[in-house]
Structure 1
Amino acid sequence: MQRSIVDFVQDEVFDWVALLDCGHRQHVRHNPPLVFRPWVLSEEGRTSQIGAHLQCLRCERFELPEHYKPYRASPVFTEDSVPAALRKDHSTRGSVWGRIHVLEGRLRYVVDIWSTDVTLTPEAPGIVVPDVLHRVEPMGPVRFFVEFYAALDT
């Protein structure tokens, strides 16, 4: 998944880290001949890369950014009360992540762009990646809610 660079910071050993719009952080090193990124060596070069895209494998692995915290939750839905919009492809906005908690029963979770079609249970929650279309489908009686996460501290 391609994500935009929104800023840069240095880690504890002063290597440059790109902050991505999904909330993940990714080291960006100039390490020829393996990686050729001379722009990382100057402030002007880094500034020129704001808005550029990097592949975010952590999004593709459904990894919630470590520094993200829950800030609100949906109501509890059942097989009868789940909104029609959740049964169709939809996404969260910007850098908002989600965790689908199944309290009882089973819920089908589909993310077509990654060919993901899994069954969520109380033991196996689902992670919602920002700006990625997904849908849910009750598999019989079910109770679930969605907890939303954002960067409350950086």
Structure 2
Amino acid sequence: MLCQAKLKQRSGWGKLTRKQKRVLPERLPYLGLLLYECDGENRQLLRQFAWQMCNFASIETMSGWLKSGDFPGPASSPEIIRQLGNASIGTDNKQILEGIIRPTGKPQFSISIYWASDKRPPECIPITLYSSLKNDVEEQQKVHVLVTRG
């Protein structure tokens, strides 16, 4: 699945860039919007992600969703993971996976969350972010993320 992240600002979800409008139409069958937003006085609290699959949409339709904030079928992260596992969304096309979704030699971004003995984490937990660089050196950066249950 190709993911286009969109952060909700105080003014709304923003717009697609010219480049996104140019390259995304052919990628809509396996594209999903990752919708995330922050709460709190200083917008320091990360809310749960919502996902909107775009496989039935056009670029014009997506632009309308972003403008209005009215997404027709937002899904939770567990639902998206289930659908990916069942191969009902995304793609298994090797050329697309290696050339577009996860191109070799490009920086990668992943988040891994672990806790011992299957204990739930406290409300605010540190998460370590790793990015693999072209020369296979790993950078490490610690951030804090609010985990909400709800």
User: Is TM more than 0.5 here?
Assistant: no
Greater fraction strand: 1
Larger radius of gyration: 1
Larger RCO (CA under 8 A, 6+ residues apart): 1
